[in-house]
Amino acid sequence: MPRILLTGGAGYIGSHTYVALKAAGYDVTILDNFDNADRGVIDRLARLTGEAVDLVEGSVLDRQVLDDLLGAKTYDGAVHFAAKKAVGESVAKPLDYFQYNIGGLITLTQAMRDAGVFRIVFSSTATVYGEPEVFPLTEDLPLSYTSPYAFTKLTSEQILAQAAQADPWIVGVLRYFNPVGAHPSGLIGEDPMGIPDNLMPFIAKVAMGEMEKLRVFGDDYDTPDGTAWRDYIHVMDLARAHVQSLDALMKGRAHTLNIGTGNPVSVLQMHAAYQAAVGRDLPYEIAPRRAGDVPKLYADPSRARAELGFEAEHGLEEMCESSWNWVQAQKRGWGFNS
Ligand SMILES: NC(=O)c1ccc[n+]([C@@H]2O[C@H](COP(=O)([O-])OP(=O)(O)OC[C@H]3O[C@@H](n4cnc5c(N)ncnc54)[C@H](O)[C@@H]3O)[C@@H](O)[C@H]2O)c1
Ligand SMILES: O=c1ccn([C@@H]2O[C@H](COP(=O)(O)OP(=O)(O)O[C@H]3O[C@H](CO)[C@H](O)[C@H](O)[C@H]3O)[C@@H](O)[C@H]2O)c(=O)[nH]1
């Protein structure tokens, strides 16, 4: 059974990927410092998989922790989620983002190199396409950045490409579009500490009565209803993409791939779908465009289909229903759905 180090495995995408990797037969060790995760996730992962979680609490910036971890067992690769992800915060604190996201990757890969572990799946993002004008987005389009966060992801991709010139790295770069939704059990999902930054957590807050209305940022974009287009992908599909990416790395096949559905969805379409999941109207108002937003981002997902056999299976309805199920389960205290 291949053994995988999962950095950031207690987080939103990491926790779903943990469950998918275990189901696929991988042995997994989670390294997380709980900077942006609730410790209770670990118990819930144990409930979901029926096995205690192999957890190391520590930071990817801590070389000693990494050396101890990688020296204790033989690893076949890593999936590297641990990073800071708030675009707005990165504008205010760019140096912190460089330290955590770029410094974290360098510390991790140096420790992996010294332990002789050369397979890594890296969490990248659609924001590396900058402000694109050609759609759908294919992997070979020019790359750029509009925030320090995006800069860290683009630089990390480049660091991994350069490192592979010197050492036998086999790298899977996955450029996620907009991950949403939750595990159907209601036990894990997106846990936005503090104020959520993204569309679906905001709609969920309105549905929970914690916010009066959704603010729709801009209705004068060049789209049919005037609101911005994104490519939302169910986190269960995204988790499966990591299993398929690792499977390919195990066979020696490196790749850089978009992970999206290819279907653009507007803010108002997402709002309508969430209303349908909740079964009642959710108030909204049109607000000015949000600074830094691009009008459209959606993937051409065909390379992931060709190289991994990956295809998103869950539609918008399931994304909204699973999110609504998760936020309600949180309020109830995470009982299993039955
Ligand atoms: N959620 C998105 O919209 C999105 C989109 C594209 C890319 N990504 C990337 O995917 C990855 C996972 O995102 P997520 O949404 O699951 O985020 P998240 O914040 O829920 O998960 C990140 C996890 O990493 C942990 N962590 C942070 N710094 C750490 C450190 N120094 N050492 C150890 N653990 C640390 C956090 O505690 C958390 O559990 C990130 O790299 C993010 O940049 C996310
Ligand atoms: O209250 C809100 C929140 C968002 N939006 C709109 O909803 C769309 C999606 O916004 P999100 O904040 O959910 O997602 P972004 O596309 O802005 O960014 C997300 O996806 C990117 C990749 O596509 C990056 O990975 C980034 O880190 C991640 O937050 C945007 O048009 C935004 O203006 C609203 O109208 N109202």
Domain coordinates in residue numbering, the chain: 3-181+231-261+298-303
**Residue 192: pLDDT above 80?**
no
User: What percent helix, strand, coil does the chain show, rounded to 5?
Assistant: 40, 20, 40
User: Which amino acid makes up residue 102?
Assistant: I
Is the CB–ligand 2 distance for residue 277 below 6 Å? no
Per-residue pLDDT reduced to its tens digit, 140-163: 999 999 999 999 999 999 999 999
CATH class in words for 3-181+231-261+298-303: alpha beta
Q: What percent of the chain is predicted at pLDDT more than 70?
A: 97
Q: Are 20 and 242 in contact (CB under 8 A)?
A: yes
ipTM comes to: 0.97
66 ligand 2 Cβ < 6 A: no
The whole-angstrom separation of Cα 329 and Cα 2 is 33
Catalytic residue selected from 149, 274, 284, 298: 149
Q: Which numbered atom of ligand 2 lies nearest the CA of 86?
A: 27
Nearest to 207 by CA among 40, 331, 37, 338: 331
232 CA distance to ligand 2 middle (Å): 10
Query: Cα(71)–Cα(79) distance, rounded to whole angstroms?
Result: 17
149 catalytic per annotation: yes
Within 124-265, residue ranges assigned H as helices are 148-166, 199-207, 235-250
Residue closest to 149 by CA, chosen among 204, 83, 199: 83
Checking DSSP bridges between strand 170-176 and strand 255-259, what pairing results, if any?
A: parallel
Do 280 and 286 meet the contact criterion of CB atoms below 8 Å apart?
Answer: no
Cα(205) to ligand 2 centroid in Å equals 15
Give residues (CB < 6 A) around ligand 1. 7-8, 10-14, 31-37, 59-61, 81-83, 85, 100, 104, 123, 125, 176, 179
Q: Whose CA is nearest to atom 43 of ligand 1?
A: 85
DSSP letters, 63-99, are HHHHHHHHHHS---EEEE--S---HHHHHH-HHHHII
Question: How many helices (H) and strands (E) are present in the chain, helices listed first?
Answer: 12, 13
Decide: 126 in ligand 2 pocket, CB within 6 A.
yes
d(CA 116, CA 220) in angstroms, rounded, equals 53
Q: pLDDT at position 191, please?
A: 79
Q: How far is the CA of 85 from the centre of ligand 1 (A)?
A: 6
- The answer to whether 150 and 292 have CB atoms below 8 angstroms apart is no
Task: Provide the pLDDT for residue 338.
Answer: 36
Distance CA 243, CA 222 (A): 36
**C-alpha dihedral (62, 63, 64, 69), degrees to nearest 10:** 100
pLDDT higher than 70, residue 320: yes
As a whole number of angstroms, the distance between CA 152 and CA 281 comes to 39
Distance 208 CA to ligand 2 centre (A): 20
| pLDDT > 70? residue 235 | yes
> What is the distance between the alpha carbons of residues 180 and 260, in angstroms, rounded to a whole number?
11
Q: What are 4's strand-pairing partners?
A: 28, 77
**Ligand 1 mean position, distance from CA 136 (Å):** 26
Q: Which ligand 2 atom lies nearest to the CA of residue 127? A: 22
Please say if the pLDDT value at position 124 is more than 60: yes
Average pLDDT over residues 164-183: 98
For ligand 2, say whether the CB of 229 is within 6 Å of any of its atoms. Answer: no
pLDDT at 196: 67
